[in-house]
Structure 1
């Protein structure tokens, strides 16, 4: 049965929430919700998509592992993807996993490799002829960040595999962790040096790995715990995962002393109970147990879903909970303008810390749980950065409803909550101080105006010092040349290079400029399509204004019929651009309706930012309407270069294979996407055929 509008809206809401939380967690190291709440939202979306497969989109959080890597480090493709694990939270779900696994064979009892689930940050190590050549973060599961100099400082990480029996090439996967005892000592040292301490060992491990200066990483007492193997060439591994872990140990890797091979469901349950009892006394934090089918033949039979193997599951420990009073609610403004209600609690000890604040996520959650100021509420925390309110325990006397502010508490701009969305947002955009830093970082990033030398640290410092308040201020930094030269770590040459890069960035393209503005829902591809469709920024601005007029007319003509309203809006204007639906059009129109955003654009133009007018009529589009998926690596092109050439010819690049995919370009080590293309009958192109297609369709 097809999904109704309510279910469709809920799926879209969940996908948007999960994307934002995922970016906050994986890219910015600033989690905005607890792991338990993320799991709940993710599972709800999985259930909706399982019941209504037509709602699955290529960019759904269920179709990916995480979010993309930041641009601080070089991006590197893993030889084989680093997949995530499915989660279960009780014995019934664990039993269902075991049942599905047994069905793949003869229904008999299976052996499982059982391990603690470390609460750290994942790392992929590449060894060639036994020597460490590269270390990368998980990233989005396909592409990670090269942090090799930092990984080399981890004391228990082998720079060369021990013994003579080593493969020509191998990827070793594991978790970088920080023991509790060493974490406490590290925080004591940081506080003694006047630095801010870390919130928990997981954040300390993640933050230490992503230091731009590896000397800082070397001072952090990190450890690497091996748990798996990716691609291997030149050697045949044991079919047993348990025996593979013993091989890791023989090569010099530290593995958990609690790794075990257990029999069947009862063995898994007994292992879980034993680890739950040990958990409080362990020096390394764990948040559950991992069970993997031990036999390779069974693993091959089970295969994978989009983001996780069917032969492995993580049995998570329950969150810790207690009850306290909700005294007040404050609204915080995030980097995308999202207003998050934050509960101010009567301080209570839970999950090992004293908690006085908790996330309420959004107004939909507040209304769904019927939370009011003055209520006694259940607070849940399980080693997470931000606790959450699970439910109301008891209605408080004189309890009052939580109200969404009409104006942004930071900049005073209007707050808008688009129909069908859970998140309310400040419309201030570029002029809201809460969004300013991230807007500036985005504006100067590599795929926007690409201002070399103006990285995150520089922007943070310049904002704090009052040198930057809007993107236009970047082009006035030359007026502060003497002050810049006098700053610690700067000099005449570095300042000259920065100012030269800023000057060069003034000559850009319309699609880069549109992308740099940071309009919500407008990524690189959408910015390119808008530029090609409208040709000039003036045309786009005019159409954004016209859209709001037509929206008002549609609301008046069909106040109770959303489908009819959408039909009135979809035939022309913004929604005539491929990929622009009602929500995206609304975001674009809102951005250009805010006068202060227009003022920033005018200031940028006055500062000398220019671009060539796009030829909307004569640009050849031989691949228009055709969808490509890229998998594996090619010798002659990087993935970004291949994507750019496809898009230059009007084609579209997506991340997952479906019946609507026209071509799958399969390089070396293509993985499961090639298999899915063959199953669906999608045309496969190797590197030679792909290059020939490019040659036939353009220069």
Structure 2
């Protein structure tokens, strides 16, 4: 579901998002917030009121005002803090019951499991009964009643005991049969989900994309036209007064025209099978949006005993969250080889798409200035391209704003930090790492960790100091020893055979096609390259003014000239 823009949110909603984002932290610590009694009363009252409003919107009007993950975090936080301050639960906001129809059998809702282990425990306790898995279709719940095989009632979920009368709309929806076959029992009560039809919907890529809101909108119309009705499908997930065996129920539903139920309900025996269907339905094409899977027992209690609360015989395992709340622990400013500054948000661990996310890159210093994120801020993150966590929103900003040491972008550029100095270690280390990589001199066994050890030991302060290191100097380093020292030394020695073009790339020359460097004889003439001016470089395809200026600056820089000369000298 898409959330309302931040500027449209009530300030109290932002407060609640703050509270929800702190829930993972509360779970990791036994400490309670250090609030006065008045602060605790005000905060808990605001939180209880907001949750009650969410419940009222969901159960009375079928509207989901917040994502399930936010709602669940808020509920956990409320429970934790009520225990901290010995605060009783407040009553929910009363709902207007006018114009409502009673459910003949209560709609129960579902408890949500939080992972493989919880599901394994639940399934083990039911090992003597058959189990089934279904997609948890993301729509709006409905009860259908057939009397003498004719559709006589369609009721929205409401509070589980009563809901809105949807019969006039239901009679126009082709997915809901108005008449059951003559073989059907005299009274049939079905519970299911009205969903918004989608063409080749892939949940992992598209999310729910307003699917539930679309159904709420259609069912809220004064009149449902043919076009609107054609957009609505039905997934029947239970037949409370039907036969006990699940397979028998599914077979009869399929024969009556409820094809989705029979097709998508699958028998399972262990967590791996449930996980298989969960991933399959998450990442493959479906005609509806989903937000997880439902695991059901074959048998259930008598329907007269059902209550509007999560039952013992069915549970939900939600899909991994596509967005998640997080608290910023710190902000690092990483300086790369070319002097680019990349701010990285260090987060308290948060779950996103079955992964634990601890940091998010903001890409550039300019982007950080736009967001102006600081430690203590509450943020929403999402996955881009299914793999890369990105900042989606800044929800609340801590006050007063913590101070940060932000690098001066004027200090760093493609030719800065060619040697080690007080504020240059990060860029200098990035230069060395690039130099030994396949982009440069391709030194086997030499990487960032190697260079960090050499810097820490005071053995490398200039970009090419490693050329003169001996095996004896290397093997005394911690956890190095004779064999590794010899291998490192061999890698250093092998660079003497590298061509000039590789050395230029290793030292940070702006990337150009190798042919651009060659003279008519196919050789690299260093003096000729150093003599080229901006317009000379721009004669070559693909080299614009910016790259030409950087090439001129590189080849005329005194330190680069000295490094090239040293690189061409003999190694010991």
- The TM-score bracket by the shorter chain reads 0.3 to 0.5
Structure with greater contact order relative to length (CA < 8 Å, sep ≥ 6): 2
Q: Which protein is bigger by CA-based radius of gyration?
A: 2
State the TM-score, normalized to the length of structure 1: 0.38
State the TM-score, normalized to the length of structure 2: 0.46
